[in-house]
A and B are shown apart, each in its own frame.
Chain A
Amino acid sequence: GAVVSQHPSWVICKSGTSVKIECRSLDFQATTMFWYRQFPKQSLMLMATSNEGSKATYEQGVEKDKFLINHASLTLSTLTVTSAHPEDSSFYICSAREGTGGSKTEAFFGQGTRLTVV
């Protein structure tokens, strides 16, 4: 099946610094990628939809200036957590679907990134 690669798998950063997370579709083109956040023992909460060549669409309550999303190519989307604080510590995971969707198009997930802000 298709593969989505997410990097890094874990990162520890100091409060106030920025962290960039990459999400790549390795063997298919993804016009749309999704970024989720997951707190321990909770479900995945959609943060934003990343659209190739255009601005990301953020969910209500997600600060777009804090969570910068760039989808510069059909195979790469990046999430940058700017001026990170301890409350931003979480598990971030991206997903991508091939083509334009349709309900049967499986969503492939990256391995996730565990961010710890100290």
Chain B
Amino acid sequence: AQKITQTQPGMFVQEKEAVTLDCTYDTSDQSYGLFWYKQPSSGEMIFLIYQGSYDEQNATEGRYSLNFQKARKSANLVISASQLGDSAMYFCAIVPSGSARQLTFGSGTQLTVLP
């Protein structure tokens, strides 16, 4: 079984500053993938970034980077140079490798970017 814990229900950040959204996970699988999704008020789920458990380097996608610490079972999302459009709900998710199983999501963090 997998579990994702996001301990920050809400976060505020000033525009143009960086922000870190926390995510810790628990899994008995040796190989797994970690995802971050953004959900604006419209409801769509927007894929942001992926980290494989055996990837040696932290994933980066534009302004998004993932601070992956496998021993600590954490996969924090870092958003650099925040923009007003980044205000949304952010979900961390995990899926085991080798099957078409569903993602297990955390409870989410509501990020608000202040002008």
Residues from chain A with Cβ under 8 Å of B103 in the complex: 34, 95, 107
Q: Does residue A78 face the partner (Cβ distance < 8 Å to B)? A: no
Distance between Cα atoms of A103 and B93 in the complex (Å):
11
**Identity of the chain A residue whose Cβ is nearest the Cβ of B9 in the assembled complex:** A41
Distance between Cα atoms of A23 and B20 in the complex (Å):
33
Q: Does residue A49 face the partner (Cβ distance < 8 Å to B)? A: yes
Which of B31, B47, B98, B110 is within 8 Å of A106, CB to CB?
A: B47
Total A-B Cβ pairs within 8 A: 72
Contact with A along B62-106 (1 / 0, CB 8 A): 000000000000000000000000000101010111111111111
Number of interface residues of B (CB under 8 A): 31
**Identity of the chain A residue whose Cβ is nearest the Cβ of B37 in the assembled complex:** A109
Distance between Cα atoms of A71 and B78 in the complex (Å):
38
Also in contact, A93 and B43, with CB within 8 A (given A101-B98, A101-B100, A103-B98): yes
Residues from chain A with Cβ under 8 Å of B101 in the complex: 101
Residues from chain A with Cβ under 8 Å of B25 in the complex: none
Cβ A31 vs Cβ B100 within 8 A: yes
Q: Does residue A54 face the partner (Cβ distance < 8 Å to B)? A: no
Cβ B44 vs Cβ A32 within 8 A: no
Q: Does residue A44 face the partner (Cβ distance < 8 Å to B)? A: yes
Distance between Cα atoms of A97 and B98 in the complex (Å):
12
Q: Does residue A108 face the partner (Cβ distance < 8 Å to B)? A: yes
Cβ A43 vs Cβ B105 within 8 A: yes
Cβ A100 vs Cβ B100 within 8 A: yes
Residues from chain B with Cβ under 8 Å of A38 in the complex: 43
Distance between Cα atoms of A9 and B79 in the complex (Å):
29
Which of B44, B47, B100, B108 is within 8 Å of A43, CB to CB?
A: B108
**Which A residues contact B (CB, under 8 angstroms)?**
1, 31-32, 34, 38, 41-44, 46, 49, 91, 93, 95, 97, 99-109, 111-112, 114
Closest CB pairs A-B (n = 9):
A103-B33, A101-B100, A109-B45, A103-B97, A112-B43, A32-B100, A34-B102, A43-B105, A43-B107
